[in-house]
Amino acid sequence: MTFPTTLAGDIELRVSTEQVPYRAALEEMTARNAAIAAGEARELIWLLEHPPVYTAGTSADRTELLDPRFEVVEAGRGGRYTYHGPGQRVAYVLLDLRKRARDARGFVHGLEGWVIETLKDFGVESFRSEGRIGIWTRDVDGREAKIGAIGVRIRKWVTMHGFAVNIHPDLAHFTGIVPCGIDEFGVTSMKRLGHDIDFNHWDAALLSHADAFLSALDRPCPPAAPAPETPA
């Protein structure tokens, strides 16, 4: 399947067909982030897959690294420990928020919405959960489980990192960490939920929602709904 190389607004789209080592991707992403901030490079959305790796965010707690069977890399993004590996689709989103609403919360909200709408195309109902970053759904046992992780960093109002969605990874690889510091809920995947799709089909669905995602970033994030009052 062939995808365009440019999205709306002259954003470069890169789709890597081979696995990209995490350290190499992080180095390139960091350099590109600085170049965008300096006005020397185009914005970028990069779809890729990593070899197995555990990444540590700025809030990572060493006690949540249960079994470091894979390389552990300091990622520089927000959040705690996350697993990346084969069968997981990663999207790095490097956008200049100076061109849009300067709203970090709105950016994360937009990423969540982009994934939620894409999952809906495959019949997977997913949702945000207050106080728990990421994309959640109902697992095969009916319990809540994470199907997508989100971690971002914003430097000089230019974003980096992004999200990862479990298409068909080895879910046993997640047991080496407490994913995102949340141990009372599990992780799941499209395959576990009965959707045996490949990256091409996922990417096509994701990109069909790209314009809506980008348009949403022009508006500040709506305020969180107040908690309902408890009757006296």
Q: What angle do CA 142, 194, 117 make, to 5 degrees?
A: 80
Q: Catalytic site residues?
A: 180
Q: What does the alpha-carbon distance between residue 231 and residue 94 come to, in Å, rounded to a whole number?
A: 45
92 annotated to a ligand binding site: no
* Whether the model pTM is above 0.85: yes
Report percent pLDDT > 70 for the chain. 92
**What's residue 124's pLDDT?**
98
Asked whether residue 226 carries a pLDDT value surpassing 70, the answer given is no
Asked whether residue 201 carries a pLDDT value surpassing 50, the answer given is yes
**What's residue 179's pLDDT?**
67
Structure tokens at 155: 């430097």
Residue 204, burial from CB neighbour count under 10 angstroms (0-12, 13-18, 19+):
middle
Structure tokens at 162: 């992004």
162 annotated to a ligand binding site: yes
Inter-residue contact 161 to 84 (CB < 8 Å): no
Q: CATH topology for 6-216? A: BirA Bifunctional Protein; domain 2 (3.30.930)
Asked whether residue 6 carries a pLDDT value surpassing 80, the answer given is yes
Inter-residue contact 145 to 138 (CB < 8 Å): yes
**What's residue 228's pLDDT?**
37
* Domain locations in the chain as residue ranges: 6-216
Decide the pairing of beta strands 72-74 and 53-56. parallel
110 annotated to a ligand binding site: no
Decide the pairing of beta strands 72-74 and 144-155. unpaired
78 annotated to a ligand binding site: yes
Provide mean pLDDT across the span 3-19. Answer: 96
Residue 58 banded pLDDT, cuts 50, 70, 90: confident
